[in-house]
Amino acid sequence: MARLSRGGFLAIAIVFHLIYAYSIFSIYFVSPIVRGMREYSVENTEAPAKRLFLFVGDGLRADKAFQSFPDPSPSIDDLEAAKEPRPLAPFLRSRVLSHGTFGVSHTRVPTESRPGHVALIAGLYEDVSAVTTGWKLNPVNFDSVFNRSRHTWSWGSPDILPMFQHGAVPGRVDADMYGHEAEDFTQDAVQLDIWVFDKVKQLFADAKTNATLDAELRKEKNVFFLHLLGLDTSGHAYRPYSKEYLHNIKVVDQGVQEISQLVEEFYADGKTAFVFTADHGMSDWGSHGDGHPDNTRTPLIVWGSGVAPPVVSSKGTATGHEDGLSSDWGLDQIRRNDVAQADVAALMAYLVGLAFPVNSVGELPLAYLDGDAKSKAEALLVNAKEILEMYHVKEEQKISTQLRYKPYPKLGDEEHSVEHRIAQIRHSIDSGDAEKAIELGNDLIKTGLEGLRYLQTYDWLFLRTLITTGYLGWIAFALTTVIDSHVLHGELDTLRTTPSVIVFSSILVTLYSVLYIQQSSWVYYAYAFFPVMFWEEVYARRASLAKGKEVLLGHITSPWDRISLVLKSLAVLGVIEALVQSYFYREVYTVIYLLASPWPAFYGLEFVKRNALLVLTWVLSCFMMSIFTLLPAMKTENLNLILLGGFLMFALGAAYLLFEKSIIGSAPNSKADPASRSNDGLSKTILGAQIGLVLLAMIVTSSSVTSIQSRAGLPLGTQIVGWFTLIASLTTPFLHSLAPNPHYIHRLIIIFLAFSPTFIILTISYEGLFYFAFCVLLFCWVRLEREVYAQHRTAPQPLTPTKAANGGAPGGRRPTKDAVYRSLTLADARTALFFLALLQSAFFSTGNIASVSSFSLDAVYRLIPVFDPFSQGALLILKLLAPFAVMSAALAILNKRIGVAPSALFGVVTAMSDVMTVRFFYMVRDEGSWLDIGTSISQFCIASGLGLWVAGLEGVGGGMVAGVGLGGEEEESAGEGVVNGKAKAKVQGKGKEA
């Protein structure tokens, strides 16, 4: 490989990180869907029920469904009595107490609507990535209870119903939906549920005058689905402990009661089964998506034909309450029967006499069935056959693509074969030992699910090894490139030989052959290509590594130097490990900032005195930043904090506008007098407009928050002004090209003000204060790094044309620019480490990856009140990435101020960042609690994403500070470098770590 230009290295970094970030999907998120299975159904003469009604209270937590609360919406005549806690769902509670069976349905991550409904209705846990397809029309591409029914009528949200309608046999599923505009988070969401109940009532009213409809409704194996979105909308907008959410529970309970009574009167045959549950829960902060128990525990109440009555304990607490979750529900005497969410699909299919969905992994919950042991054993055997059919098809597919397949041990020999196990169960049923048959059936289902799991993870060892080798290869490649281009400046040729090329080519051909035989996905070829390419390049540059060691470590001669180097290396690794731990404990950043606050003192008292104001500002900034990770990541809306942050942003901008001349004039190394510029007036006018937008953002945010909190909705005028302010704040900075001011402080202020309105409009609490403190800290860091560099430059260090970085190298090298940069030293590793810590802090100071809920969508309702997840998510991402944009500009300016090549520190930072990524790759879990699983997956994705973002920052930063001048002493230093660089540049390796 020829030496890379800066753009080439950046391109490889981005492509590599994008592809390897996808590896998490290849390993942990592989779709479990297979084709070609036979269907299985219980052969009863008559199904337990002729029809089934499924009520899904979207976003209903298990505890809120059963706990007692004061009446959230009392009548005027009942104000005093309303203060007494009472169940908010008395009808559903009556089903639990005397008519049916209840429990908790445990969902899986991600706790979002699409995967939740798919699990309930298809009995399948889609791969985690499927959550991104749940917010647009994306039909289910697998079997479901609706598809197995004679006919399904459904009512509810346009985000859920179409995927089952269009994924079923044409004409089998009817979907009646309200419009997207009805999902307004600033309005009363109970109207969504009332709309559904009214539509169901209208259907049965129409049947009285429509003989054809009446006949269709009275046929067997029909399913009715009521999707009740009001609870989810109320929870997002007002939190699940709010009176709005609790009132919505009352509305749902009343609606379910009315529909149940209407249905019983219409059919009058007692052959209807009812299922009430939820797709996911809701955190205390109005969010869901992760594996927190509040999000994964939902109610399940089943009653009607074919359903077992409640099992009441005459004394003591009934079984099922051991976890303490239901201790305050007042249901201790009723047995609680918990299930996995996919089990509900199997239960519904059995109750209404349908074939089990062929992709279902649900286990039939026998405790919910009203029947004798023999009928339960027969049903369980059919359930086992359906699951084992999936195992058989998957195993056949795996055998056809493997060089040497190893079967699952528990199903791999004659004694443990599927046929032998099924024969045992059949014999037990026929001989009258139904209990034994049930025991064997449960064991066979468990074994079948384990076998499916075995096939799902069959390639993990190979893939993990490949991915790890790739990441380690990238780290080695990045560091080698940095040494070759920014320490040695391309002085040495690569040592690529024919034998080495043959060896690495043979390795790649062998890997590709295995992947071809196994019919692997195209992305697997990319996984195999990168490690071979990286390690081959590292091997070819082994001479540069040897020379780089001499240059960088040449001054390490005494024992104390060696000990110092070891201690500093351990300190670097310690900080990286601390950053890893910060994903679990945000408070780590509090410690990091407190330890960083005395950093300038390490350069001596003289240094502190010379930069007293700067050092004081640094210390105060560190103390301010140390506070944020002690504050709760789960935030509630606080207008006072929002306005305080906005005031500080406005004050900083106004102070600069008023004292620009003295600020820039007193800045070190500045010669230019801003007052002398002919376009000074225009520049101040544009800057004043930016400051005015900050003030306008405060006004419009105050108005929108007040309006939404008063339940008056979002006024159109406020929404328009909010959008205008946001867009104008991001576009106005481009007007500065009409009146350019090249000073770096001026450029940083422009960028700071550009994102200030974003952090006012899209914040709900202290995030604006964080943005202010973070930007001040970045400014101090840039200034301090320059002062440290100047102090430790004992003599003007020759700045060398970075030929390799610009496309030139010996043996065909050509300097493309007159740009001059100094060589990197070990001291620059500390600068890179500071940048990495600041990068991670920018993400975690206001959020916590332990809970996706910490990144609240509340603020986006001020711009988009109607449910639109992609647009709302884009606004949230804009706010999250704004500090990174400021940071990229700061790094680009720092590069200029300390004389290093633009891509030099970037290469070191990405290498350090991917040490963290590898750590998280091996910390990903797919077993244990769903909280642990979801968190570990999120941690890897964030760590990998931040590594990718570092690559993006390199390009963004250069563009944002284009045209920024060095000024004064720094320009003189550059001139000296040009003079010294006229002779052949000698590599300077004598720099000692600051």
Q: For the segment 550-600, what is each residue's pLDDT rounded down to a tens digit? A: 888 888 888 898 898 899 899 999 999 998 888 888 889 999 999 999 999
CB 206 within 8 A of CB 265: no
Please give the average per-residue pLDDT across 280-288, as a whole number: 86
What was the pLDDT predicted at 984?
35
| Chain length of the chain | 994
963 Ramachandran zone, left/alpha/beta (phi>0; psi -120 to 50): left
CB 969 within 8 A of CB 530: no
What was the pLDDT predicted at 661?
80
pLDDT surpassing 80 at residue 817: no
Angle at 364 between CA 362 and CA 370, to 5 degrees: 155
pLDDT surpassing 50 at residue 256: yes
pLDDT surpassing 80 at residue 979: no
pLDDT surpassing 80 at residue 514: yes
Residues 6+ apart with CB under 8 A from 417: 411
For residue 155 the two structure tokens come to 């009512």
> Which one is predicted more confidently, 268 or 7?
268
CB 225 within 8 A of CB 156: yes
User: How far apart, in whole angstroms, are the C-alpha atoms of residue 654 and residue 636?
Assistant: 30
User: How far apart, in whole angstroms, are the C-alpha atoms of residue 682 and residue 700?
Assistant: 27
> 382 in helix, strand or coil?
helix
Least confident of 580-584, 708-712, 835-839, 955-959: 955-959
Helix axes 869-898, 904-921, angle to 10 degrees: 130
What kind and span of H or E run contains 622?
helix 612-628
User: How far apart, in whole angstroms, are the C-alpha atoms of residue 671 and residue 664?
Assistant: 9
DSSP letters for 139-168:
---S--HHHHSSEEEEEE-TTTHHHHHTTS
User: How far apart, in whole angstroms, are the C-alpha atoms of residue 968 and residue 447?
Assistant: 75
Cis check: omega of the bond before 632, within 30 degrees of 0: no
At residue 861 the predicted structure's pLDDT band, cuts being 50, 70 and 90, is confident
User: How far apart, in whole angstroms, are the C-alpha atoms of residue 867 and residue 552?
Assistant: 56
> Which one is predicted more confidently, 146 or 941?
146
CB 300 within 8 A of CB 331: no
pLDDT tens string 904-940 = 888 888 888 889 888 888 887 765 555 566 677 777 7
- Smallest CA-to-CA distance from 348 within 338, 336, 360 is with 360
User: How far apart, in whole angstroms, are the C-alpha atoms of residue 705 and residue 767?
Assistant: 16
pLDDT tens string 312-354 = 998 889 999 999 999 999 999 999 999 999 999 999 999 999 9
Percent of the chain with pLDDT over 90: 48
DSSP letters for 761-789:
HT-SSTHHHHHHHHHHHHHHHHHHHHHHH
Q: CATH assignment of 45-106+130-278+296-353?
A: 3.40.720
pLDDT surpassing 50 at residue 981: no
At residue 973 the predicted structure's pLDDT band, cuts being 50, 70 and 90, is very low
Percent of the chain with pLDDT over 70: 86
3-state helix, strand, coil in the chain (%, to 5): 60, 5, 35
Least confident of 493-497, 614-618, 866-870, 927-931: 927-931
DSSP letters for 535-604:
HHHHHHTHHHHHHHHHHHHTT--SHHHHHHHHHHHHHHHHHHHHHHHTTT-TTHHHHHHHHHTTGGGGG-
What was the pLDDT predicted at 171?
92
Q: Among positive and negative, which fits the CA dihedral 169, 173, 174, 179? A: negative
Least confident of 81-85, 281-285, 641-645, 715-719: 81-85
At residue 665 the predicted structure's pLDDT band, cuts being 50, 70 and 90, is low
Going from N- to C-terminal start, the domains of the chain cover 6-23+460-554, 45-106+130-278+296-353, 559-665+680-793+822-900
What was the pLDDT predicted at 448?
93
User: How far apart, in whole angstroms, are the C-alpha atoms of residue 395 and residue 406?
Assistant: 10
Which residues are paired to 226 by β-bridges? 55, 155
For residue 849 the two structure tokens come to 């990856």
Q: Among positive and negative, which fits the CA dihedral 845, 848, 849, 855? A: negative
At residue 651 the predicted structure's pLDDT band, cuts being 50, 70 and 90, is very high
Q: What is the DSSP letter of 188?
A: -
Q: Among positive and negative, which fits the CA dihedral 252, 89, 931, 145? A: negative
What was the pLDDT predicted at 666?
53
CB 467: neighbour CB atoms within 10 A?
22
What mean pLDDT, rounded, does the chain reach? 84
> 377 in helix, strand or coil?
helix
Helix ranges (DSSP H) in 32-112: 62-66, 90-98
Which residues are paired to 155 by β-bridges? 176, 226
User: How far apart, in whole angstroms, are the C-alpha atoms of residue 705 and residue 711?
Assistant: 10
User: How far apart, in whole angstroms, are the C-alpha atoms of residue 477 and residue 531?
Assistant: 10
DSSP letters for 947-988:
HHHHHHHHHHHHHHTTT----HHHHHHHHHHHHHTSSPPPP-
At residue 128 the predicted structure's pLDDT band, cuts being 50, 70 and 90, is low
Q: What is the DSSP letter of 820?
A: E
pTM above 0.75, yes or no: no
What was the pLDDT predicted at 466?
93
User: How far apart, in whole angstroms, are the C-alpha atoms of residue 281 and residue 60?
Assistant: 5
What was the pLDDT predicted at 376?
94
DSSP letters for 212-228:
HHHHHHTSSSEEEEEEE
pLDDT surpassing 90 at residue 959: no
Please give the average per-residue pLDDT across 524-553, as a whole number: 92
